[in-house]
């Protein structure tokens, strides 16, 4: 969420930012919120003036009653009563305008970083760099669930009967591989100085609206019926929520945290939820990293975060590339974002396995996460990035390590987590 004072003083910048994100339907909101804010401030000023006048008249009533001037006192009482009625109307108007301002400010997108390429959607994202040699073997690589089924590692049919499409049972060595990757990712991040955390898997609505846009919320979140609780779509939600309405001493920053959680997503409007695969699913597990830091430090942390994911995948011999997300592909709260994509030998292309985002002070402003510094209080910056999110990792892993005889090679870094196994058969 932007600073309202910034919107008021820089409407043209805010409008151009909206155009850069190809959200022209939101352009009228800038003038609307400025008008509502002006009316709200006028109502507030008039109300403050009436309160001051009422206090003055109240003191006069007491003085007149003490002098026995009852009729004059009663006349002033009538003035106070009229003033109270007007004050009540102004208070109602002020609250209504305040709500309108808040509602609009929640949907005006954050100002994107000047380095973000301008583009309409993800087809215009810009490749930055490739890491590792993308290879296509001489033999045919089956679809990822077929590889799993050959290893007795997945049961989609039973899951469909139990929970519907978008769910699965992982079995045997594939289930073990899934857990091994999560455990390795946890230790990888701990070794890079991050504090490990297991957060709540449900959050309240005020946290949901603090960490994401309404459009994301509608497309992702599962609501718990009869409760003010939502299942998290990623641990970032509850991890950032941990700092809600806090004032952090500046010397405690940065907070660098890595968190494990299951994730639950509706995947509303997503293609492929019906397919016999595990690319888009309703439930999965993930290791995440988040940083809460000073504003001037967030660009440096942004580069460190996406590099962590690249390094993790390369340590498991999986080729990856980084993509700069263009303006139209950025969610409304994001200032800048880089996707990490893994190589798929079967499809002969890369696919997304992680996303690193700098949200500036947008989440902090919504959740009132402030820092107490030498020069006063200010809003922190928040960043997040995927360490690893099976089962997408499993797709990349199985395709890149499948051998011609149908076995799957286990990279050296994972062997301690797989009981010393060097391959799956």
**Most confidently modeled range among 55-64, 218-227, 406-415:** 406-415
Quick check: 285 and 378 in contact, CB under 8 A?
no
**pTM of the entire structure?**
0.89
**Sequence-separated (6 or more) residues with CB below 8 Å from residue 101:** 4, 33, 36, 37, 40
Backbone phi and psi for residue 33, each to the nearest 5 degrees, phi listed first = -70, -35
Query: Of the ranges 21-25, 84-88, 104-108, 391-395, which one carries the lowest mean pLDDT score?
Result: 84-88
Which residue, 301, 375, 310, 289, is CA-closest to 335? Answer: 301
Summarize pLDDT for 68-108 with one digit per residue, the tens: 776 776 676 677 677 777 788 888 898 999 999 999 999 99
Summarize pLDDT for 5-16 with one digit per residue, the tens: 999 999 999 999
SS3 143: coil
Dist CA 232 CA 290 (whole Å): 15
Look up residue 288 and give its DSSP letter.
E
pLDDT for 35 equals 96
Q: Is 195 left (phi over 0), alpha (psi -120 to 50) or beta?
A: beta
pLDDT for 127 equals 98
The full set of domains in the chain, from first to last, is 4-105 (1.10.287.40), 122-424 (3.30.930.10)
Which residue, 235, 228, 167, is CA-closest to 196? Answer: 235
Q: Tokens 């909101």 identify what position?
A: 29
**Sequence-separated (6 or more) residues with CB below 8 Å from residue 94:** 40, 43, 44, 47
Q: How confident is the model at residue 162 (pLDDT cuts 50, 70, 90)?
A: very high
């Amino acid at each position: 969420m932007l600073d309202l004072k910034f919107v008021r003083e820089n409407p043209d910048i805010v409008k151009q930012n909206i155009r850069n994100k190809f959200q022209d339907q939101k352009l009228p909101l800038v003038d609307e919120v400025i008008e509502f804010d002006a009316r709200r401030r006028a109502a507030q000023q008039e109300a403050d003036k009436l309160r001051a006048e009422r206090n003055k008249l109240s003191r006069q009533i007491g003085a007149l009653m003490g002098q026995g001037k009852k009729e004059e006192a009663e006349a002033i009482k009538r003035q106070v009563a009229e003033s109270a009625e007007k004050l009540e109307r102004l208070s109602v108007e002020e609250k209504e305008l305040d709500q309108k301002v808040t509602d609009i400010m929640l949907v005006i997108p954050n100002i994107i970083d000047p380095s973000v390429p301008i583009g309409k959607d993800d087809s215009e994202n810009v490749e930055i760099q490739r890491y590792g040699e993308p290879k296509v073997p001489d033999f045919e690589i089956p679809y990822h669930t077929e590889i799993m089924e050959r290893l007795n590692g997945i049961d989609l049919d039973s899951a469909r009967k139990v929970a519907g499409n978008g769910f699965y049972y992982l079995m045997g060595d594939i289930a073990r591989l899934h857990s091994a990757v999560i455990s390795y990712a946890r230790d990888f991040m701990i070794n890079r100085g991050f504090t490990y955390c297991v957060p709540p898997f449900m959050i309240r609505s005020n946290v949901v609206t603090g960490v994401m846009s309404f459009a994301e919320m509608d497309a992702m979140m599962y609501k718990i019926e009869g409760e003010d609780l939502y299942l998290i779509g990623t641990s970032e939600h509850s991890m950032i929520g941990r700092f809600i309405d806090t004032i952090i001493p500046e010397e405690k920053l940065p907070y660098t945290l890595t968190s494990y959680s299951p994730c639950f997503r509706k995947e509303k409007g997503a293609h492929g939820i019906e397919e016999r695969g595990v690319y888009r699913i309703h439930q999965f597990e993930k290791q995440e990293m988040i940083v809460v830091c000073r504003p001037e430090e967030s660009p440096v942390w942004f580069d460190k975060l996406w590099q962590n994911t690249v390094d993790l995948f390369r340590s498991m011999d999986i080729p990856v590339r980084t993509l700069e997300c263009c303006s139209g592909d950025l969610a409304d709260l994001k200032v800048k974002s880089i996707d990490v994509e893994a190589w798929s030998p079967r499809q002969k292309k890369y696919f997304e396995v992680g996303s690193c985002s700098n949200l500036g002070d947008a989440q902090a402003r919504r959740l009132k996460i402030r820092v107490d510094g030498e020069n006063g209080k200010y809003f922190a910056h928040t960043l997040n990035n995927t360490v690893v999110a099976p089962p997408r990792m499993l797709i990349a892993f199985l395709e890149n390590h499948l051998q011609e005889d149908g076995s799957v090679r286990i990279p050296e870094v994972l062997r301690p987590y797989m009981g010393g196994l060097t391959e799956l058969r």
